[in-house]
Structure 1
Amino acid sequence: MSSITFGGLASGLDTNAIIDGLMKAERIPLDRITSRQSEVQAAKDGISSMSTKMANLKSAAQALSSLSGFSSYKAGSTDSSIVASVSGASSPASYTVSVQKLAREQRSYATPQASSTSALGMSGSLGITVGSGSPVSISIASTDTLTDIATKIGSSGARLSASVVYDGSQYRLQVRGLDSGAANAITFDEQGFSLGLTGTPTQKAQDAELTIDGIPMTRSTNQVGGAIPGTTLALTKENVTSEVSITSDGDALKKKVAAFVTAYNDIVNTGHTLAGFGTTKASVKELSGDSSIRSSLDKISRLVSQTVPGTTGKYTTLGSIGLGTDRDGKLKLDEAKLTAALTADPNAVTKLFVNDSNIGATGAMKAFMTAVDQIATNEKSTLKARGDALGKLSQRLDDDYAALDRRMAQIETQYRQRFSALETTVSKYNQQGAAITNMSSSGGNK
């Protein structure tokens, strides 16, 4: 807690104001350190921003570096009751899909009752087995109501649910399996009472039955995966036939390429803004003309124009398919040129992007991913080294500030001690002067 001081009581001087003025001059070096701290922090934030945008570029490149990621496909169906969707690595093809039966879960109803809340007067045990699972046993008391039994079944831990259905005049207990498929049929064992659950189910558990190009198959659910490579079929209706086609999705591929372009240009814009390259003035003084940013931009720029290893013929660089840089170093996409290349030689375009030894491709995207690691990700990467150096500089400034701040406190204490001594001396002289004056006045009155 700072102390309250009253200066100049003896001398008449405003010593507090004088000391404040002196300390303001003394603190000029401290203010300079504060200014440097702000500059260095802005630089650290700038390098961190560059690293983040480099990571975004790597993600965009990764989305185009695999054969499954680059080769985008879409699935279509001529009948809306069979919904086809691409779920993995696929290839262009068409299939005739016919659905004979849908997969269903078992539903069983008990004997109708007049009330759902009156005691049934039944007691015993109800055994329930779902498929090949372990049976569960539920104890039924004579005071149990239909609702009580439904609750006990629902909390038994078996893969089923139970509820009470009212048809307008009577109440019936419904037990429904949670899983479809013939393997999930439910069996009941009523010991000491009869609810009527052991009879024929209202809906039997059954598998989906379908054919693909005449080949019969069954599934336990209506979500059919694996039958068509990379495609999932959602079945919603029986006795229907549909033509399912898998085709190239050029729009999806272009979106991925556009995302790569955006990520690349974010790096260029950020680098130019921070360091003041091109026609832009540096927004961060500490990073003006920064060599680490310049080398980072140069590294990814060279990858755009270089020949991709393993490619031959017309399409050997990204520029040959419509990806090139403008005067500011930003990447631009000529969609018409990309579309034409995909139409003329899709395999050659694939090799430009994809890293896959099975097709003899290294791909440009792998090179971008490696470059990002060297620039921003690895322990000794360019931007990490720059960030570490700024961190050390920031720590030195913090240490210098703390040391100088302590020195300022000592200097202020010294000033106050000196002025206090001055006030003491002045006060002493004032007292002596007053005494002499009093003596003179006394002598003159005799």
Structure 2
Amino acid sequence: MASVSSLGVGTSLDLDTLYTNLETAEKTKLTAITDQETTYNSKLSSYSKLQSSMAALETATAALTKTTAFSATSVTSTNTAFTATTDATASTGDYSVNVTQIAKAQTLISGSISSNSIALGATTSGNSRTLTIAQGGSSTPLTLTLTDSQTSLTGIADAINKSAGNISASIIKASSGDYRLMLSSKTTGTDSDMTISVTGDDTLQSAIGYDASATGTQNMSVQTASQNAKLSVNGVAIERSSNTISDALTGVTLNLKAASTDSSGETLTVSRSIDDTKKTINAFVTAYNSLKSTIASVTKYTAVTAGTSQSSSNGALLGDATVRAVESKMNSMLTTVQSGSYSILAQMGITIDPSTQSDGSTGALTVDDTKLTAALTNNPQAVSQFFIGDGSTTGFATQFDSTLTAMLSTSTGKEGIIKNAQDGINATLKELGTRYDTMSDQIDATMARYKTQFTNLSTLVNSLTNTSTYLTSQFSSSDS
């Protein structure tokens, strides 16, 4: 019997359409599963957003647990011979700084050379010689191998500069036929004085060799003599090779610019800086409000008319117990009373705004800058105590940070509330994936069974039709 290429072919039965309709109906069983997967994936994405906002808040909170957040200093004096910067370890007070001289780098210059391109060295059998520039403060001298073609002023300068060492080289053209090689130390101080020697080429050595301690080898001259920086701080004499001095006063870096014009020096004033502390506190407030905004977004509810479907714009975590627990804990932490002169945030000008913000969040923090500035100015130790406490179990920031860290923990056996929620969703998604595969296999088996039944039906109908046609033909012949 001929094979059937299409269901119902040769019959009046529209089995193809019936098969397609049955397949569509079967696949609706998969749609229910994929809809659930979409919902749970949206929840997982929203949890990631929540986790990110909480992590940002934890970072901002951790900054408030450090004593350096409340001990920042700044220079409030205006000085001409030097500038200064401070860190949290600097002690406040006035210091007398008198700069006698600033550090300078040594510069050497060669004698007059008629051309910057003429070879200054002798032709060597090995086509090379070694140029060595040693500096007193460096245990490793700059060593360069020069070819015959590199003994011109241009060749020497290029080789030195390309080495990226502690020496810079340049060529000065005084006039036509008068060129000079100038070598400068990149570091200041007498420890960086240069000694220049050439081995394997006495001719070049006689042109640029230099050793201040050896007679007859001073073929270059000192254009700028090196010198160390000299100053006094509160009458104590200090000498350094650099104009940047960070080890004279704890936490203070001095940058010397010129010798003091007044023999008595200048006053450096180091004061307590509240600006950095305010920035750290405001960063916490911003991060907290951002978390509130994220919570409002993932739990958003859009009202609809009774009897109609819920809005598709609702947050994926609307009504979620984990989010409610996080928000409840955060709200509770804000009102925890601390011991000390300041016991609650409001005393420092940080209050909770009960109104609904434009993003739908409520309970955002606001900062009264005037009140916060007054607290940091009048009693900085009390503010520090409020936030840090004992650094272990007490203190607003210490407790807040510990709570967030626990909630965000991913450590095995110590999983936080967010990790547990994510693990639960991932387990559900895995189960839905298994259900989908099982259901898909069942649908494939069902449709294969339908196809077999429809094929058999089509074959039977074709056979009956052929028999009917044959009998009709036979009866017609007998009648004639």
**Do both share a fold (TM > 0.5)?**
yes
Deviates more, 1:423-432 or 1:319-328: 319-328
Of 255, 268, 274, 1:244 maps to: 268
Equivalent position amino acid for 1:213 in 2: N
**Residue deviations 1:173-225, cap 9 Å, x none?**
22222322222221123451312441342223332222223322122222221
What secondary structure does 1:414 align onto?
helix
Of 276, 286, 292, 2:322 maps to: 292
Residue 207 of structure 2 corresponds to residue 195 of structure 1: yes
**Residues 139/384 of structure 1: CA separation in 2 closer, same or farther (3 Å cut):** closer
TM-aligned CA deviation for residue 37 of structure 1: 0.7
Q: Output aligned runs, 1:146-157, within 5 Å.
A: 146-154=153-161
Q: 1 CA distance for matches of 2:90 and 2:119? A: 59
Residue 345 of structure 2 corresponds to residue 318 of structure 1: yes
The answer to whether the 8 Å contact 2:299/2:317 transfers is yes
Residue 385 of structure 2 corresponds to residue 351 of structure 1: yes
Q: Where does residue 129 of structure 1 map in the other structure? A: 134
Q: Where does residue 301 of structure 1 map in the other structure? A: 331
TM-aligned CA deviation for residue 266 of structure 1: 1.7
Q: Where does residue 48 of structure 1 map in the other structure? A: 48
**Residue deviations 1:240-296, cap 9 Å, x none?**
5543322233333222212111111222222233235999x9966663322222222
Deviates more, 1:39-48 or 1:141-150: 141-150
Q: Where does residue 270 of structure 1 map in the other structure? A: 294
The answer to whether the 8 Å contact 1:73/1:86 transfers is yes
Of 326, 351, 371, 1:337 maps to: 371
Residue 423 of structure 2 corresponds to residue 423 of structure 1: no
How large is the Cα RMSD of the aligned pairs? 3.0
TM-aligned CA deviation for residue 324 of structure 1: 2.8
The answer to whether the 8 Å contact 1:76/1:84 transfers is no
**Unpaired stretches in structure 2, ≥5 consecutive residues:** 124-128, 211-217, 304-310, 355-361
Q: 1 CA distance for matches of 2:68 and 2:115? A: 59
Q: 1 CA distance for matches of 2:287 and 2:428? A: 30
What secondary structure does 1:232 align onto?
strand
**Residues 115/388 of structure 1: CA separation in 2 closer, same or farther (3 Å cut):** same
The answer to whether the 8 Å contact 1:100/1:210 transfers is yes
The answer to whether the 8 Å contact 1:88/1:231 transfers is no
Instruction: Please give the TM-score of this superposition, normalised by the length of structure 2.
Output: 0.81
TM-aligned CA deviation for residue 172 of structure 1: 2.2
Residue 184 of structure 2 corresponds to residue 176 of structure 1: yes
**Residue deviations 1:31-52, cap 9 Å, x none?**
1111111111111112222221
Q: 2 CA distance for matches of 1:60 and 1:336? A: 22
The answer to whether the 8 Å contact 1:75/1:244 transfers is yes
The answer to whether the 8 Å contact 1:277/1:289 transfers is no
Q: Where does residue 308 of structure 2 map in the other structure? A: none
The answer to whether the 8 Å contact 1:282/1:288 transfers is no
Q: 2 CA distance for matches of 1:278 and 1:438? A: 74
Q: 2 CA distance for matches of 1:419 and 1:332? A: 73
**Residues 80/57 of structure 1: CA separation in 2 closer, same or farther (3 Å cut):** farther
**Residues 185/312 of structure 1: CA separation in 2 closer, same or farther (3 Å cut):** same
The answer to whether the 8 Å contact 1:66/1:355 transfers is no
Residue 402 of structure 2 corresponds to residue 370 of structure 1: yes
**Residue deviations 1:334-378, cap 9 Å, x none?**
223222323442221221123567xx9942111111011111125
Q: Output aligned runs, 1:381-400, within 5 Å.
A: 381-400=416-435
Q: Where does residue 258 of structure 1 map in the other structure? A: 282
Equivalent position amino acid for 1:304 in 2: L
Q: Where does residue 118 of structure 2 map in the other structure? A: 118
Residue 79 of structure 2 corresponds to residue 79 of structure 1: yes
Q: Where does residue 160 of structure 1 map in the other structure? A: 167
Q: 2 CA distance for matches of 1:376 and 1:277? A: 26
**Unpaired stretches in structure 1, ≥5 consecutive residues:** none
Of 193, 201, 223, 1:185 maps to: 193
Residue 425 of structure 2 corresponds to residue 411 of structure 1: no
**Residues 98/317 of structure 1: CA separation in 2 closer, same or farther (3 Å cut):** same
